[in-house]
Amino acid sequence: MRSMKDARIRIAIAALALALVIAAVITVVNSSKTDEVLGVSYGDTIFDDGHAEEDPAKKATQNRINSIFEKIHQENTRVEGQAQHYVRIALLMPLTISRSKQSAIPLSQIEHALQGAYTALKRVNSTGTYGSFQRFQVQLVLVNQGSRQNVDDWLIDEMLDESEPDHPLEAVIGLGSSVVNTETVVAKLGDKGLAMVSAITSADSLTGMKNFWSVSPSNIQYVQALASFVRGQNLKAALPIADANDDPFTSSLAAAFREQLRGVIYVSPAEQKFNGGTIDQPATPGVFDQVINNVCGAVNDRTHPVDTLLYAGRVADFPAFITDLSKRTCVGTKLTVLTAATGFASASGLAPLMSKGNIEVYYASSSAAPGWEGKTPPPDYHDFLNDYRREGFTNDQDLGDGLAIAHHDALVTAVYAARNAVSKPVPKPQDLPTQLNNITFTPVRGASGPIKFEQGSGGRRVGMDIPIRRLY
């Protein structure tokens, strides 16, 4: 039986071409442009040394991330030594950021995702909430794609090699954000018959892909929730502001705005484009200059004066957008900005600019923690919160971007499906697609609310109460 200590890890470091030994783990070096350690670990490999980080805030965050790796390693070691039967589930996502280029997910969101995944790991291994933990327990395999969400075959093969007959790799969770590489990896793993449960991917191009399920709403579902919100507001006309890059998230969000808001509010056909920053292309200076000029033209349009902007872009570009929008010549007219994404709360802190610019921002999200925006939280949220705090995560503000809740829910959904499979002593990976499809009448008790699927949903969660949050 392969021990965790024997798990191979591949290292990707720019300009190096030699074999290294790190913490007694055999390594293979591949070229990379981002100076990141990529590969597979059970928590005993430090992908990034926080002490090497010069920025104090990033250094503190990185060291907290490494402490969660150690927690995961301790739990994986306990399972290997004590559990009669156990299976493996892989968390595939960026676990490091680039120091020189924009990353798919910021360091703070990596930390929050790991908080949620670890809390879920402890819950599935010690409670009966997600099926009998006495039947089998779970090891969490950490697979670092890096800031570019690498999907090279060697990385996929390393992950798949961690599956053994007695300890199969049952599913892959996480999957990072909705970039082109996400579509690539979903296609690769789907063809291999491995079930995937994504945490935050909302691009509609992923819906219906083979062996893909998601605890996150799709962009269409997000905009449908925004449509209900708009019906209760006195909003008249909207102008779409869309990223022109080849980006599954932004392009499908722009399409959802056009299709789902038809008949709810007038949507101008004069969609405004900008070249936002992506993991492949940095944003250029003054990217919003012409867009903002045209916004004021639309505000003063005699036929359909615009009072609403539909932002179909990445959260990384949003501060620059709000900064430029706050300086517009038509600042006397109040503008409401609508958008959608799990993790959009990371754009908080723009309140002074929004106040100065006469701007209000509302976004659809998969969760509204902490506090649940003054409404009654989902029925199982407080149980999750108690366990989350018990595991040492005491800053409830870390829940605000939704990453912890989403990754918790992805893991418990995969485990719930595995424990409903009939194969014993441990389920076969090929059993999981059927069991995920069977999560219909008896939902998974997610921190974000009941999780269930149905035929025709393309693997997307259904029946979720999608909160609309105001950005402060």
Of 12-16, 96-100, 203-207, 382-386, the range with the lowest mean pLDDT is: 12-16
- What pLDDT is recorded for position 371? 87
Q: What is the pLDDT of residue 197?
A: 98
pLDDT of residue 238: 98
Q: What is the pLDDT of residue 389?
A: 98
149-169 pLDDT, tens digit per residue, is 999 999 999 999 999 999 999
185 has pLDDT over 50? yes
Whole-number pLDDT of residue 415? 98
Which stretch of 24-28, 46-50, 223-227, 320-324 has the lowest confidence by average pLDDT? 24-28
Does the pLDDT of residue 374 top 90, yes or no?
no
- Integer Cα distance of 212 and 6 in angstroms: 30
Residue 26: pLDDT over 60: no
Nearest residue to 344 via CA among 460, 222, 252? 222
Give the chain's mean pLDDT: 91
Angstrom CA distances, 158 to 90, 95, 155, 163, 408, stand at 11, 16, 5, 10, 24
pLDDT of residue 18: 26
Q: What is the pLDDT of residue 423?
A: 87
Q: How far is CA 330 from each of CA 112, 188, 280, 285, 306, rounded to the nearest angstrom?
A: 39, 49, 34, 22, 11
**pLDDT surpassing 70 at residue 105:** yes
Residue 90 is given by DSSP the state E
Q: Which amino acid is at 237?
A: A
Give yes or no for residue 12 having a pLDDT over 50. no
Residue 429: what pLDDT? 95
Kindly report which listed range (41-50, 75-84, 227-236, 427-436) carries the lowest average pLDDT score.
41-50
Q: Is the pLDDT of residue 85 over 70?
A: yes
pLDDT in tens, 32-67: 566 899 999 999 998 988 777 888 999 999 999 999
- What is the bridge-based pairing of β-strands 359-364 and 335-340? parallel
Is the pLDDT assigned to residue 6 strictly greater than 60?
A: no
For 19, which DSSP code? Answer: -
Task: Assign 7 a pLDDT band (cuts: 50, 70, 90).
Answer: low
What single-letter DSSP state applies at residue 429? G
Q: Which carries the bigger pLDDT value, residue 32 or residue 269?
A: 269
Which pLDDT value is given to residue 192? 95
Q: How confident is the model at residue 450 (pLDDT cuts 50, 70, 90)?
A: very high
In this prediction, residue 4 has a pLDDT band, given cuts at 50, 70 and 90, of low
- Which pLDDT belongs to residue 236? 96
pLDDT of residue 3: 58
As a whole number of angstroms, the distance between CA 293 and CA 261 comes to: 24
Pairing of strands 195-198, 212-214: parallel
User: Residue 13's pLDDT is what?
Assistant: 37
* Long-range contacts, stretch 134-138, CB < 8 angstroms, 24+ apart: 135/85, 135/419, 135/424, 135/425, 136/83, 136/85, 136/86, 136/87, 136/418, 136/419, 136/425, 136/426, 137/79, 137/83, 137/85, 137/86, 137/87, 138/79, 138/86, 138/87, 138/88, 138/89, 138/415
Q: Which two tokens stand for residue 389?
A: 């705090």
Q: What is the pLDDT of residue 30?
A: 40
| Predicted local distance difference test score (pLDDT) of residue 53 | 80
Across residues 300-308, what is the average pLDDT? 97
Residue 14 has pLDDT above 50, yes or no: no
Residue 233 pLDDT greater than 80, yes or no? yes
pTM over 0.95: no
pLDDT tens column, 62-82: 999 999 999 999 999 999 999
Mean pLDDT of 250-259: 97
Nearest to 451 by CA among 73, 6, 459: 459
pLDDT at residue 404 greater than cutoff 80 = yes
For residue 396, the cross-strand partners are none
pLDDT reported for residue 16: 29
Percent of the chain with pLDDT over 90: 82
Between 348 and 412, name the one with better pLDDT. 412
Provide the pLDDT confidence category of residue 21 given band limits of 50, 70 and 90.
Answer: very low
What was the pLDDT predicted at 349? 87
